[in-house]
């Protein structure tokens, strides 16, 4: 191996459960902040909104499982899109993920402070952590801690994820163990089924569709597993397995916990508890309610902080890949001499997330959280559209052996060759595009700042391309 090769070689240290934990942490944290918002708009139909939204998540997740196990390198959607459609499209997909991950760092650091406030509130008898500027300052301190953790190495970082994901799985299991029998005994399930007949009036179709689009966005994060593909021990087997585990657990837990939320509490109550909805829900459970509520407050803090960590991992690996492929300056692919981690990108984009919080630090907690959340999905959904289209295109353009394929395929004969055309990615693309249109039409901040982000990215792409061409001409 040459010196230059070792300069950009990541170490394979991630096993199956660590890969699963990475995906679960990024998506599983969403329910800790999304469930109140979805219940506020969809009312009793919130579980149905989550169930419909999960269709898009499942399809896109399966596409990631096939592509990441076939091309186990850092970059994910950016690499798949570049291989399918060329450098420019690969850059756009990667640039979109960079926006998503950077926002993820800021959003979930703030969400973790919201749950931390739930824990300490009884001590101060006031929401002291949610006041400006305390809310933002604490989130920034937490991000700075993750910079150090991730520079030391992804092994430490993935162990950090794994511990708290295990605790969260136990917590959600306790929710279901005590909650499901309660709503069956008290007739909550029957009342919920009856309330579904009111869709169209309560909630209105407009509110239900809006809630469904928000619920789709709450599943964002499945790409985290593929971002660490180059650091996964046996990616051909581990990535599909970890992805399927993540899909099943997230869909089951999200739908069932949302069912508990609208049957044990009124949708308006859970909707108003936007800073710590699951802790509020835990109080209603028999026998262990008060004790579990405090524990859920801690777990909400922990799992949101873990999701912040996956954002740091994700954005650093995307930009590392883009630097290695000359879509970004080569310095972005530089690894730490001792820890072999992409330290430049870890520091840079974590500080950008801190800056995003800092420039809005005068906003009160809920308004700061809402502002950053409005940007969260714009770039990710563009990348997801690329993933679905790349899955289709690469079936025709690249006959590399695939350890696992998306199910439901049609045999197509073309030029004397047979190809398997996947059907599900078509539906995945259409559903992602629909949600993106809803976000563009209803979130002004997301529309304006998201568009500005991509405009800046396109300008950077052509400047970088021109610089590389000039260097190559000078070297000949």
- Say if 3 falls within a structural domain: no
Quote the CA–CA distance of 18 and 157 in Å, as a whole number.
10
Domain that holds residue 295: 12-475
Closest among 422, 403, 404 to 412, alpha carbons compared: 422
For the cut 80, the answer to whether the pLDDT of residue 476 exceeds it is no
- The domain tally of the chain equals 1
What is the per-residue pLDDT for 33? Answer: 80
Encoded tokens for 249: 């657990």
Stated length of the chain: 476
Residue 2 has pLDDT above 70, yes or no: no
Tokens of 406: 């998306």
Using pLDDT thresholds of 50, 70 and 90, give the confidence band for residue 92: very high
Among left, alpha and beta (phi > 0; psi -120 to 50; other), residue 153 is left
Q: Does the pLDDT of residue 251 top 90, yes or no?
A: yes
Contact 321, 79 (CB under 8 A): yes
* 179 found inside a domain: yes
Please say whether the beta carbons of 383 and 223 come within 8 A.
Answer: yes
The model's pLDDT over 272-289, given as tens digits with 9 standing for 90+, comes to 776 678 888 898 888 888
3-state secondary structure of 201: strand
CB of 120 within 8 A of CB of 276? no
- At residue 1 the predicted structure's pLDDT band, cuts being 50, 70 and 90, is very low
The neighbour count for residue 247, using CB atoms within 10 Å, is 23
Residues 192, 179: contact at Cβ < 8 Å? no
Domain membership of residue 1 (yes or no) is no
Task: Note the pLDDT of residue 16.
Answer: 92
Instruction: Answer whether residue 204 is part of any domain.
Output: yes
Which residues neighbour 121 within 8 Å (Cβ) at sequence distance 6 or greater?
127, 128, 129
Residue 118 resides in a domain: yes
Higher pLDDT, 84 or 358: 84
Contact 440, 304 (CB under 8 A): no
Q: Three-class SS of residue 412?
A: strand
Neighbours of 393 (CB within 10 A): 17
- Domain contains 369: yes
- Say if residue 188's pLDDT is above 60: yes
- Closest to 212 (Cα-Cα) out of 73, 49, 427, 439: 49
Q: What is the mean pLDDT of the chain?
A: 86
Residue 145 lies in a domain: yes
The answer to whether residues 27 and 219 touch, using CB atoms and an 8 Å cutoff, is: yes
Q: pLDDT at residue 123 above 80?
A: no
* Rounded alpha-carbon distances, angstroms, from residue 194 to 44, 281, 421: 10, 22, 41
Distance, in Å, from the CA atom of 97 to the CA atom of 239, rounded to the nearest integer, reads 19
pLDDT of 418 > 70? The answer is yes
Dist. CA 90–CA 426, nearest whole Å:
19
- What is the rounded CA–CA span in Å between residue 163 and residue 306? 10
Is 16 part of any domain? yes
CATH of the domain at 46: 1.20.1740.10
108 to 26, 27, 38, 128: CA distances (angstroms): 9, 11, 17, 19
pLDDT digits (tens, 9 = 90+) for 398-409: 988 898 999 999
Q: Give Cα separations from 63 to 69, 385, 404, 426, 428 (angstroms).
A: 10, 11, 10, 11, 9
Query: What is the enclosing helix (H) or strand (E) of 422?
Result: strand 417-422
């Amino acid at each position: 191996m040459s010196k230059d090769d070792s300069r950009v070689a990541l170490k394979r240290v991630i096993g199956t459960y660590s890969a699963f934990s990475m995906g679960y942490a990024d998506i599983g944290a969403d329910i800790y902040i999304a469930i109140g918002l979805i219940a506020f708009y969809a009312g009793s139909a919130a579980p149905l909104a989550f169930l419909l939204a999960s269709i898009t998540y499942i399809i896109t997740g399966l596409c990631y499982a096939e592509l990441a196990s076939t091309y186990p390198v850092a970059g994910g959607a950016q690499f798949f899109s570049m291989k399918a459609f060329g450098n420019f499209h690969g850059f756009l997909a990667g640039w979109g993920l960079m926006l998503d991950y950077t926002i993820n760092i800021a959003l979930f650091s703030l969400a973790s402070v919201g749950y931390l406030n739930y824990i300490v509130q009884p001590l101060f008898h006031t929401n002291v952590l949610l006041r400006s500027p305390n809310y933002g300052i604490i989130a920034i301190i937490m991000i700075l801690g993750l910079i150090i953790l991730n520079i030391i190495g992804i092994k430490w970082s993935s162990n950090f994820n794994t511990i708290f994901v295990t605790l969260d799985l136990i917590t959600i299991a306790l929710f279901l163990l005590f909650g499901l029998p309660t709503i069956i005994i008290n007739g909550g399930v029957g009342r919920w089924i009856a309330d579904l007949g009111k869709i169209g009036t309560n909630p209105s179709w407009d509110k239900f569709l809006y809630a469904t689009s928000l619920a789709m966005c709450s599943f964002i994060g499945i790409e985290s597993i593929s971002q660490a593909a180059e650091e996964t021990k046996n990616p051909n087997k581990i990535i599909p397995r970890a992805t399927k585990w993540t899909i099943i657990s997230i869909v089951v837990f999200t739908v069932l916990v949302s069912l508990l939320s609208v049957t044990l509490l009124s949708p308006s109550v859970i909707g108003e508890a936007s800073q710590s909805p699951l802790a509020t829900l835990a109080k209603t459970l028999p026998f262990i309610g008060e004790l579990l509520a405090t524990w859920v407050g801690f777990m909400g803090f922990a799992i949101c902080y873990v999701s912040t960590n996956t954002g740091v991992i994700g954005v650093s690996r995307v930009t590392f890949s883009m630097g290695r492929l000359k879509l970004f300056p080569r310095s972005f692919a530089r690894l730490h001499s001792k820890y072999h981690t992409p330290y430049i990108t870890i520091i840079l984009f974590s500080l950008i997330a801190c800056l995003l919080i800092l420039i809005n630090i005068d906003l009160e907690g809920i308004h700061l959280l809402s502002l950053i959340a409005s940007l969260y999905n714009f770039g990710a959904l563009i990348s997801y559209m690329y993933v679905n289209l790349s899955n289709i295109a690469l079936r025709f353009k690249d006959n590399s052996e695939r350890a696992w394929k998306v199910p439901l395929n049609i045999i197509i004969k073309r030029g004397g060759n047979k190809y398997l055309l996947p059907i599900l990615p078509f539906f995945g693309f259409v559903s992602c595009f629909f949600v993106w249109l809803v976000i563009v039409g209803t979130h002004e901040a997301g529309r304006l700042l998201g568009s500005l982000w991509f405009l800046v990215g396109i300008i950077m792409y052509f400047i970088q391309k021109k610089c590389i061409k000039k260097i190559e001409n000078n070297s000949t």
